[in-house]
Structure 1
Amino acid sequence: MTKLRLSHPSGIVRGRIQLPGSKSESNRFLILKALYAPEMQLSGLSDSKDSEILQQLLASYPNQKELNAGDAGTAMRFFTAFLATQKGEWILDGSERMRERPIAPLVKALSDLGAEIEYLEKQGFPPLKIKGRKLKGGLLHIDASLSSQYLSALMMIAPSLEQGLEMRWAGQPVSMPYIYLTANCMRRMGFKVFVLGNEVRIPAQTELDFPKQMTVEPDWSAASYWLAMAALAQEAEIYLPGFRQFSMQGDSIVAQLMAPLGVDQTFIGSGIRIHKAEALPIPTQINLLDTPDLSQTLIPAYAAKGHSVQFTGLQTLRIKETDRIAALQKELQKFGQQSEVGKDFLHLKGGFQTSLQSIATYGDHRMAMGFAALALLHPIEIENPEVVGKSYPAFWEHCKVLGFELEEF
């Protein structure tokens, strides 16, 4: 097992970080390009493992009948819907963990639209046998309680369906901002997309004058780790170029959520400046239903400040790369943090002590990067640090830019 010892000699972080492209935007534009606009050029694409896997799948499917999405959940869901609309027959599999992650709501929805998909092993989970065809479309009711990616996958194939798509769901879907992000990506390409309350309407439309080039915004999930660094640093001045002032990425709300820890951001025309500011009052509860990927950034940072806060809306964390609620609780216990957890919440109880803790990452990129900021308080060790490649391969090199010292052993 590889370990990385991470420390910071001064606690002062200053520098410029060129973040990778948004994984969420990249994966959406890759599917949309393959479906409708193969000549469109994409710039600023994410160099994450997830996006690379999706590109490999899109390049391989015409000549390869057995495909593997590895541990890339977004690729698995988006590509399942993609293959369902293509003429041919494929087997789509994933890693052992992917075989434990549910896909039944998406498969049922595609089947209702006329797709032919068969479970090859456990009902409701990969691997899948997919026989692609022209789908009819029409009215669809879907369970959106597990993942917004089911909705996004269906939205992106909707213009190619004979009748377009009218999609409705009951209750509040998780990660709703990602549905808005999908709609925004499609509108930027010229599609008509209507999101009204608990329904989405997208008419059939393929003969459009698509843009010749599309630029992907930097990744706000990646930016969140640098806001956590600023929160725990003695002094902070970090510039992140390339962001839009009004981003559609749901995780852009992280600046507001970090404000109680004394961090602020300023948009300066071509990017954002992260710096120290007067701390706002500490909330008693933070709901992350819309932005669950921020949990492993926010929870360690709030814990390190010794605050008692309840984080809710975490139900999807149980079926991510690992059971993230259990992983967070277990690693925080190493710092003396006795948190209370439930099906969809984690309640920090206050108290935090640092020594040379070793952080297990559970094969989860966000565990490694979310806990890295704690090295500003005391040296820590990160187990299997290479997991960051799933979303942010340059993360450790960027830590060096801000003065962190790294020792691999």
Structure 2
Amino acid sequence: MADDTPWSAPAAAGPLDATVRVPGSKSVTNRAYVLAALSTGPTVVRAPLDSRDTRLMLAALDRLGAVSERVDDGVRIRPVTQGSGEVGVDLGNAGTVARFTPAPAALGSRTVHFDGDPAIRRRPVGPLLRALTDLGADIADDGRGAVPFVVRGHGHLRGGAVDLDASASSQFLSALLLAGPAFDEGVTVRLRGSPPSEPHIAMTVEMLRDFGAAPERRPDGFHVPPARLARDEFTVEPDLSGAAPFVVAPLLSGGSVRIAGWPTATTQPGDWLRSLVAELGGGTVLDDTGLTVTGGDSLAGRTLDLHEVGELTPVVAALLCFADGPSEIRGVAHLRGHETDRLAALATELSALGGDVTETAGGLRIRPAPLHAGTFHTYDDHRLVMAGAVLALRVPGLRVEDPATVGKTFPGFVPLWERVVAGASPGDDGDDGGPTGTTDDG
């Protein structure tokens, strides 16, 4: 499908009956790749997401000296090696790559030039670059605190204690914690401001422990002592945030959808969707094989604080447009600094289709209003493609702009969605259930 061809997203003709298998978590995949690159020996990362963002991460680590190769059901990554000369890293529009790779660059011996898509230049990185500089990194950004920037590696990083304002992105904190074991003195991060998406921080801490580090949570932040990371193999969970459209679909169309492989215990923010379904009148059953979601009789308006699960806002906002009462989404002001200004984009696009959606200081206010067909613009944002798909369930004739941008985190989303809405069950054996291998605050 050409990038400039809008997608005629399907409307639901009746209750759904489908089983899907979503690809691996982008957040977990890219953290695992970084930890593998900083380990003392090779690591095989199994069932990873294979998407633009994860390929950008592998390419960036390769430029830093961590060579990777494809193996059965995964990727083998060798530790970062010292080198010399100047190299360039393409960040694309991947926040995890922009935030997680400068520290490994500072630990190497190369001069690394970071740049990417025009959109990445608008995404915040300044607090992280300042913290790395305070910890001994040699970074040149012309004082802008933004992409592009240059990291001059000197073979090690002193580390120690640092103050960090992570209110714009939890990835700033995760970036320091992931690399902390490789710093001479480890790292002690004193937080100034409350970071969003606590589940992503918990994910980082848990994965550090999986690789042999000993992170500690303190009243004012975190401490990670020096450690030799090592892990022979690591398996990536399915992406629960990428599953969001499939989880909420029965609430609008009736019937049921089963997401195969949903973990019974996880730190992923997307697991909150189970609570959302219950609050909105649907049903969920979680067992060792996956999660089954069943639609309810009606959809009531709600006030929801999504501070910890902000990446789900586009899909949730689309869902709430069909509630029978007013709704408000709070706690997500930080979404103005994501792939696009997600709050402005959602208010603009939902209102253009007849919705009554306005921005607030910290989110969106949504009032019931009939929607009509039109083109839903996606601003190069994968989450907005997913929101458009959800809208189309109840809005026949809706066209979603640039559906290919969903490949950032979920290659194959469009054909998989079409099969689900058509009522066909793609199966749960991994052969025809969409791609394997997905997504941001991440």
TM over 0.5: yes
CA contact (8 A) 1:340 1:347 kept: yes
Q: Within the alignment, does 1:215 sit opposite 2:204 as a pair? A: no
- Equivalent residue letter for 1:359: F
Is contact 1:260–1:282 with CA below 8 Å preserved after alignment?
A: no
Q: Which residue identity is paired with 1:48?
A: S
Residue 108 (structure 2) pairs with residue 86 (structure 1): yes
User: Which residue, out of 355, 361, 371, partners 1:343?
Assistant: 361
Partner of 2:335: 317
1:225 to 227, 240, 245: 245
AA partner of residue 49 (structure 1): R
- 2:24 paired residue number: 21
Q: How much has 1:278 moved relative to structure 2?
A: 6.3
Residue 110 (structure 1) aligned with residue 110 (structure 2)? no
**Residue matched to 1:296:** 314
* Conserved 8 A contact 1:261-1:302: no
Structure 2 distance, partners of 1:300, 1:259, is 18
CA displacement at 1:281 relative to structure 2: 6.3
Which residue matches 1:132? 153
Equivalent residues in 2 for 1:30-179, closer than 5 Å: 30-62=33-65, 65-120=87-142, 123-133=144-154, 134-179=156-201
TM-score (norm 1): 0.93
Residues 1:189 and 2:232 aligned together: no
**Amino acid of the structure 1 residue aligned with 2:404:** E
Task: Report the more deviating stretch, 392-401 or 55-64.
Answer: 55-64
Query: 1:368 and 2:385 equivalent?
Result: yes
Distance 1:302 1:404 in 2: 23
Q: What SS does the aligned partner of 2:242 have? A: helix
SS in 2 for 1:46: coil
**TM-score, scaled to structure 2:** 0.86
Equivalent residues of 1:260, 1:280 under 8 A apart? no
**What's the offset of the Cα at 1:280?**
8.5
SS at match of 1:348: strand
What secondary structure does 2:414 align onto? helix
1:272-287 aligned within 5 A: 272-277=291-296, 282-283=301-302, 285-287=303-305
AA matched with 1:308: P
Aligned-residue offset at 1:261: 2.9
1:29 counterpart SS class:
helix
The RMSD of aligned alpha carbons is 1.9
How many angstroms apart in 1 are the aligned matches of 2:213 and 2:166? 23
Decide which of 395, 408, 414 is 1:378's aligned counterpart: 395
Q: Report what 2:374 is aligned to.
A: 357
Percent pairwise identity: 29
Cα separation, partners in 2 of 1:334 and 1:280, compared to 1, 3 Å: closer
CA-CA distance at 1:343 after TM superposition: 3.2
| Distance in 2, Cα, partners of 1:70 & 1:38 | 28
Distance, in Å, in 1 between the alignment partners of 2:193 and 2:96 is 22
1:99 is aligned with what amino acid?
R
Quote how far apart the aligned CAs of 1:276 are.
Answer: 2.3
Unaligned ranges ≥5, structure 1: none
Task: Kindly state the Cα deviation for residue 9 of structure 1 after the two structures are TM-superposed.
Answer: 5.3
Shift of 1:37: 4.6
How far apart are residue 40 of structure 1 and its match?
Answer: 1.3
Structure 1 residue 305: Cα displacement:
2.2
Aligned residue for 2:350, secondary structure, equals helix
Shift of 1:279: 6.2
Summarize deviations over 1:238-288 as a string: whole Å, max 9, x none: 2212222121112211221233333232112122112124668643x2111
AA at the equivalent of 2:358:
E
Change (3 A) 1:355 1:340: closer
Q: Distance in 1 between matches of 2:405 and 2:376?
A: 13
Instruction: Give the counterpart letter for 2:31 in structure 1.
Output: R
- Provide the rounded CA distance (Å) in 1 between the counterparts of 2:40 and 2:259: 30
1:291 alignment partner, SS class? helix
Greater mean alpha carbon deviation, residues 137-146 or residues 238-247: 238-247
**Number of residue pairs matched by the alignment:** 399
Q: What is the rounded CA distance, in whole Å, between the counterparts of 2:171 and 2:406 in structure 1?
A: 22
